[in-house]
Structure 1
Amino acid sequence: MKLVEDWKAAWRWLSVQFGALVVLLPVAWATLPDETKAIIPESWLPWIVGAVGVCVVVGRLVDQSK
């Protein structure tokens, strides 16, 4: 396995940021009070995670050479 050349800058990449969000969503959900959880229908959860997953892919494809 070989790391990408600029791996130290990975935290700035959108794909890494959105990937971290996918990892943190279940943790954040578990810590929310039940009153807050009741606002978001449970049937929406897979769609929300899926949308963030799409953001990971888009973030990987977008040129971020700034």
Structure 2
Amino acid sequence: MKLDPQWRQAYRWFSVHALALAGTLPGVWCSLPGEWRAIVPISYVAIATAITSVLGIAGRVVLQASAIQNENKPC
């Protein structure tokens, strides 16, 4: 396994944003007051987390515009 040569720009990547959100969603739901959790069922949180994770994976395998711009820059 090799480190991405552009790892210092990882905070800009869509995949990092999506997977961070997927990791945060369940924790946010757990920290909500009980009345709010009754409005948003855990099944919705699970579905939103799964969709966000799939988007994160897709964002990782799809070539993003910032990666194309970085390839055109001289070293």
Superposition TM-score, scaled by structure 2 size: 0.73
1:23 aligns with 2:17: no
Question: 2: distance between equivalents of 1:26 and 1:41?
Answer: 11
**Identity over aligned residues, as a percent?**
38
Unaligned runs of 5+ in 1: none
1:63 aligns with 2:64: yes
Spell out, residue by residue over 1:25-59, the C-alpha distance to the aligned partner (whole angstroms, 9 max, x if none): 12111111111111112332321111111210232
Superposition TM-score, scaled by structure 1 size: 0.80
Question: 2: distance between equivalents of 1:4 and 1:50?
Answer: 25
CA 1:55–1:39 in 2, change beyond 3 Å: closer, same or farther?
same
CA 1:37–1:50 in 2, change beyond 3 Å: closer, same or farther?
same
Unaligned runs of 5+ in 2: 70-75
Question: 2: distance between equivalents of 1:29 and 1:49?
Answer: 11
Matches for 1:1-66 after TM superposition, within 5 Å = 1-60=1-60, 61-65=62-66
Higher relative contact order, chain-length normalized (CA < 8 Å, sep 6+): 1
Deviation beyond 4 Å, 4+ runs, structure 1: none
